[in-house]
Amino acid sequence: MTLLTARALTVAIGGRPVVGPLDLDVRAGEVVGLVGPNGAGKSTLMRALAGLAPHGGEIRLDGAPLARLSPGARARRVAHVAQTREIAWGLTVEEVVDLGRLPHRPRFAPRSTTDIRAAAGAMAAMDLVPLAGRRATELSGGETARVVVARALAQEAALLVADEPTAGLDPAYQIALMRVFRRMAREGGAVVVSLHELGLAARFCDRVILLDAGRIVADGPPEAALSAENLAAVYGVTAHLAHDAGGLVLMPTGLIDRLGDDR
């Protein structure tokens, strides 16, 4: 089932076109990896898909135009993890995660049992229970990364758009995070996640969209999108590609010099 469709999508920043025009679909039950070099327009595209940036063309969520949903209704269906992890004042980890429940809570209402259960589930998924009472402003970078993802998970939206959520995480938490995304997809949701760790995209995503200069270069299974030719053309890198029982293994190995000096 198609959850989100974008047609002739364009996004501009300060009048300068940054993304598109492009078409893409996100189906329920899949984890879509968004990869591409720095400045390719990944964050801008993700902000548009999450309904946070004005856009040209059309984005539909469950068939309805995204731009026409009320902010509250949109927030109950699309969650967004921003690349910059801002936390002001000294809220506790538990309070930050609970903010993900705001769209579900009427103004001035206390936390419902659903709110408490959702927040607790999100904290457990991100291994934050031992940190629940700590000030979120006093955490390490990796701990903060887990808090902002847990906040978005607590939102219990059908579509999660996460911008580089693995940045700053150690390998164990990177894999654990990708597994949480896989579980969310298995339970009928969908995840669009931008990644610089191509190995994670190759192994844990159902589909990979390769973005370069605001356009889609490849969109398909990891094996097809992350081919040696595509990596060379878009990133200018050589890579070691292999298969094992768990799927595709990808390791960038060198830079392709324009003069042909491969090191």
Partner 1 sequence: MSGSNRFLLVTMGLAGLVVALFVASLLQGPVAIPPGRALTALVSNDGGWTLVMREIRLPRALLSVTIGASLGLSGAALQGYLRNPLADAGVLGVGASAAFGAVLALYTGLSTLFPLALPLAGLAGAIVAVVLVLALSGREAGSVVLILSGVAVAGLAGALTSLVLNLSPNPYAALEIVFWLLGSLADRSMHHVGLALPFMLVGWVLLAATGRGLDALTLGRDTALSLGIRMDRLRLAVVLGTAAAVGAGVAVAGSIGFVGLVVPHLLRPLVGNRPSRLLLASALGGAALLTAADLAARLISPDKDLKLGVVTALVGTPFFLALVVRAKGRFA
Determine the number of helices (DSSP H) and then strands (DSSP E) in the chain: 9, 12
**Closer residue to partner 1 (CB): 181 or 204:** 181
**Closer residue to partner 1 (CB): 52 or 176:** 52
Q: Which span (82-90, 196-204, 227-235, 248-256) binds partner 1, by CB under 8 A?
A: 82-90
Answer yes or no: are the C-beta atoms of 53 and 47 closer than 8 Å. Answer: yes
Interface with partner 1 includes 246 (CB under 8 A)?
no
**Closer residue to partner 1 (CB): 52 or 67:** 52
Tokens 């135009």 locate to 65
* Region 38-67 residues binding partner 1, contact defined as CB under 8 A: 47, 50-52
Residue from the set 94, 115, 156, 212 that interacts with partner 1 by CB under 8 A: 94
Q: How far is the CB of 213 from partner 1 (least distance, A)?
A: 23
Helix (H, G, I), strand (E, B) or coil at 248: strand
Q: Which span (31-39, 100-108, 209-217, 218-226) binds partner 1, by CB under 8 A?
A: 100-108
Q: Which span (24-32, 85-93, 189-197, 229-237) binds partner 1, by CB under 8 A?
A: 85-93
Interface with partner 1 includes 71 (CB under 8 A)?
yes
Answer yes or no: are the C-beta atoms of 164 and 196 closer than 8 Å. Answer: yes
What 8-state DSSP symbol labels residue 182? H
DSSP string, 44-96: HHHHHHTT-S--EEEEEETTEEGGGS-HHHHHHHEEEE-SS----TT-BHHHH
Nearest CA to 164 among 154, 174, 156?
174
- Is the bond preceding 21 in cis, omega lying within 30 degrees of 0? yes
Query: 251 burial class (0-12, 13-18, 19+ CB within 10 angstroms)?
Result: exposed
Q: Which span (31-39, 80-88, 185-193, 201-209) binds partner 1, by CB under 8 A?
A: 80-88
Q: At what angle do helices 113-125 and 141-154 cross, to 10 degrees?
A: 140
Interface with partner 1 includes 203 (CB under 8 A)?
no
Interface with partner 1 includes 75 (CB under 8 A)?
yes
**Closer residue to partner 1 (CB): 152 or 211:** 152
Nearest CA to 210 among 50, 42, 83, 8?
42
Binding mask 135-174 for partner 1 (x = CB under 8 A): x------------x--x---x-------------------
Interface residues with partner 1 (CB under 8 A) are: 47, 50-52, 70-76, 78-80, 82, 84, 86-92, 94-96, 99-100, 102-103, 107, 135, 148, 151, 155
